[in-house]
A and B are shown apart, each in its own frame.
Chain A
Amino acid sequence: MLGYIIRRLLAVIPVMVIVALFVFLILRLTPGDPAAILAGDSATPAQLERIRDRLGLNLPIYEQFIQWVKMMLQGDLGVSLISNTSVSTMIGQRIWPTLNIAMLTITISILIAVPMGVLAAWRHRSWIDYAVMSFSVLGFSVPVFVIGYIFIQIFAIELRWLPVQGYTAPTQDFIGFLQRAILPSFTLATIYVALIARMTRASMLDVLGEDYVRTARAKGLREGTILFRHALRNAAVPIMTIIGTGFALLIAGVVVTESVFNIPGVGRLTVDAILARDYPVIQAMILLTAGLYVLVNLLIDISYTIIDPRIRY
């Protein structure tokens, strides 16, 4: 097992090298000029040229790449071309809101979706099943910002139960965090509830037809024990996969929700950086996201061995 984890961690290195090279090149081949964003609309070509020189944007691409790789190897993500702030500081400020919202979203999604999926499978082709499936289709189909606006209208504007927008760190004020995080988390959760509930239902349907389930019932076990201890555990591998990839997708795709609820997360940081061609920030964010995907996949693979002892690496 330990050998497997080490092998998987070592495999991260070529992945990150390829991602780094790809990101670096694609950014340099995309039209855009951070110096023009920095200097504003009325800068003359000569002024822009001098700023480009200062920012090192006039160096040959291979030299820029070597410089960047050297910095990365020293753990230095560089400095934003636009705000002149260290990229690691910027990411440090912005990663926690996204991670916290993502974790709350996944928690809410699991707590709602797994029981929903189990129920739907248990009452296959009943009204419960149809209701769960209809909700899933709805959750997939309605754009997340529409759901966000509806929640804001009802809970923040009409009922005034929750704030419209903003973010408070849980370490600073946990209650304030919950008040502000509930709406965005439930908004994001709609799509994940739909996804996880469907997967749980499908996986449970397979398992509920197995002989051991019939045997368990014949032995007179309580239905709840059968569903959750026996069936769900055996159905859990694909569910874990979808939860894990869902978490990674959440980090990468949270930008719309961050905009609607004004959460200062990494989604907005990345989009702003792309629009401003702030190369160091984009590069760092893409590497971070790639690293997160690899890590989440590793954790999912390890979790298989815990859920299903038959799986060995």
Chain B
Amino acid sequence: MTIPNLRNTLRLRPMSAAVAAVTAVALALPMTAKSDDTTITAVMHSSLRVLDPIITTAHITRNHGYMIYDVLLASDEDFNPQPQMADWQISDDSLTYTLTLRDGLTFHDGEPVTAEDAVASLERWGERDSGGQLIFDVTESLEASDEQTITWTLSEPYPPLIDTLAKQSAVPAFIMPARIAETSADSSISEHIGSGPFRFLEDEYEPGVSVTYERFDDYVPREEAPSWMAGGKVVNVDRVVWTTMPDSQTAINALMAGEIDYIEQVQVDLLPILEASPDVVVENRDPLGYQTMGRLNFKHPPFDNKQIRQAALMALSQEDVLATMMGDPEYYEICGAIFGCGTPLADESGSESLTSGGDSQAAQQLLEEAGYDGTPVVLMQPTDVTSLSAQPVVAAQALREAGFEVDMQPMDWQTLVNRRASMAAPEDGGWNIFFTNWMVPEITSPLINVMLNGRGEDGWFGWPEDEELEALRREFIAAESDEEQLEAARKLQVHTLDEVIYIPLGQYIMPQARRDNITDMIPSPVPVFWNIDKQ
């Protein structure tokens, strides 16, 4: 039998031709992927899935809050409170605060913003925010005196009230219509109407995929120049789209190809690729960055013993942790200040061993003096969060070198979040140590730093019972001058590191990248999309 040749025998050609045709058509057509001139497409650090900026402290939701809501007061780049929706006056006895809304404030549904809306919003915020709770603890009344005036009467002076109202983390006091703000603070709101510079387009929202904002034409910006979250919020583009890209490499490729305009956080190890791209600018516009830290469990051995906690602190070196985590020293900073370096309350007292490479020998000696009996330290290691992968490994090694028995247990972040809430003994599903990261604005003051809470089981995970810590916090709140505040903060710094309430492991920044036709972005710890222009 002769084998016929391919040309005459196979009827493959129609099929192959179909594939080729489909490909050719697609290839031949003009690319439509470039983002247009009136829309900014940004890849943010995480996907937006919770839309209620009061119920959660998630940064992405807070950032969403700043897009569509406005705040009464806002913090500028010098950490000073500035009027935003309202101006304020304080009575001579420091017990009555009068906030007056400025003219022209309108919600996205066309209704005017009234003092009643502000009161309802502040009340809901006060149920969730730790700083707000402290104000409401001393609140006698909070009411709308007229359409534009809010009167806040206290039972005792609370000097940090204005600073607390102006803060940008963790939960800013966003103003929403009263009917929405009346939702319980333990349930998510279901309507998303603010009076901020952008409108949220609900029809285009896909949780976990993308969220689209449109310029709110009736927004009246302040006349002052923008400065962090304060000043005039002038919007120069029609739309802003936040899109989620779970793969960092994809985001980088898309930026280089001009399909997106901005990446909020770029992994440091991928920077060389972007730096080689002529149309892309890599920069840092967040002057503060993040603090990474370790938290010990005060309820169970061995860290129920102060000397053993001190030994753990002594064993750790910020340089080792940060170098492993970030690689390039340009993106991290050794910093022993519990309130973060570059902030008004920064003080590095008591952090000498942490900032100078650790002191393993001193740690060993402390362990010996404390009579450490080899109780294993259960160290929780999250395996699915890139920014938390280095700390447990480096810390485990340092603790072992100092003489600790370390039982490092890998788990996903969700399991860790669940387990850290367990007060059970480590061998029964509890824990001894874990690590996490905070944006520096979340820890800059004892009023908002959740770890500085000495109320035992009512406080944050780890549950230190520390009356002196509480007394120092009260001293800070009562301080009437900057000097008094600084002194109280310094005492808190010393006390925190002496008791090892938590272990600051230094600061790092996540660089951002943009196409070079995106201009006039404001430097700020919260990425904001007002003022930006697209050439």
Contacts and interface: CB of A to CB of B under 8 A. Distances in A.
A224 B58 contact: no
Contacts of B208: 83, 264, 268-269, 272
Contact of B58 (A40, A44, A152, A264): A40
B190 interface: yes
Interface string A143-184: 000000100100011001111111000000101101110100
Contact of A178 (B3, B22, B184, B442): B22
A276 interface: yes
B415 interface: yes
B386 interface: no
Contact of B254 (A83, A114, A164, A276): A164
Nearest to B412: A275
B459 interface: yes
A180 B128 CA distance: 43
6 contacts: A37-B417, A80-B49, A84-B188, A157-B257, A160-B257, A217-B1
A42 interface: yes
Contacts of A119: 10, 12
Interface string A227-268: 110000000000000000000000000000001111010001
B55 A39 contact: yes
A289 B505 CA distance: 44
B12 A41 contact: no
A44 B206 CA distance: 29
B512 to A, nearest CB: 19
Contacts of A295: none
Nearest to B429: A31
Contacts of A54: 184, 186-187
B434 to A, nearest CB: 11
A33 B421 contact: yes
B245 A262 contact: yes
B41 to A, nearest CB: 10
Contacts of B413: 275
Contacts of B52: 84
Output the residue of B29, B33, B384, B415 with the most chain A CB within 10 A: B33
A256 to B, nearest CB: 9
Given A50-B186, A111-B18, 12 more contacts: A31-B415, A33-B417, A39-B55, A82-B49, A93-B209, A111-B19, A114-B15, A161-B31, A164-B259, A173-B32, A179-B31, A182-B23
A85 interface: yes
B22 A31 contact: no
B4 interface: yes
Given A82-B49, A111-B19, A224 B9 contact: yes
Nearest to A123: B3
B4 A223 contact: yes
Contacts of A227: 9-10
A165 B254 contact: yes
B209 A115 contact: no
Contacts of B23: 182
B31 A41 contact: no
B62 to A, nearest CB: 9
Given A40-B56, A115-B12, A228-B11, A156 B253 contact: yes
Interface residues of B, number: 73
B9 A222 contact: yes
B535 interface: no
B26 A115 contact: no
Contacts of B33: 163-164, 166, 179-180
A38 B188 contact: yes
A164 B258 CA distance: 10
A39 B57 contact: yes
B450 interface: yes
B249 interface: yes
B130 A224 contact: no
Given A54-B187, A160-B31, A37 B15 contact: no
Contacts of B438: 41
CB-CB nearest 10 A-B residue pairs: A40-B57, A163-B33, A83-B207, A223-B9, A264-B209, A178-B26, A32-B414, A42-B450, A50-B186, A84-B188
Contact of A260 (B49, B55, B250): B250
Contacts of B384: 275
B55 A51 contact: yes
A39 B56 contact: yes
Contact of A32 (B245, B246, B415): B415
B10 A275 contact: no
Nearest to A275: B414
A268 B246 contact: yes
Contact of A165 (B18, B210, B259, B414): B259
Contacts of B8: 222-224
B436 interface: yes
B208 to A, nearest CB: 5
Contact of B15 (A80, A111, A160, A272): A111
A46 interface: yes
Output the residue of A51, A111, A262, A264 with the most chain B CB within 10 A: A262
Output the residue of A84, A228, A277 with the most chain B CB within 10 A: A84
B39 to A, nearest CB: 14
B460 interface: yes
Contacts of B55: 38-39, 51
Contact of A47 (B50, B128, B187): B128
B301 to A, nearest CB: 22
Contacts of B184: 54
A48 interface: yes
A165 B57 contact: no
Given A36-B417, A175-B25, A275-B384, A163 B19 contact: no
Nearest to A226: B9
A176 B419 CA distance: 46
Given A54-B184, A176-B32, A259 B9 contact: no
A46 B458 contact: yes
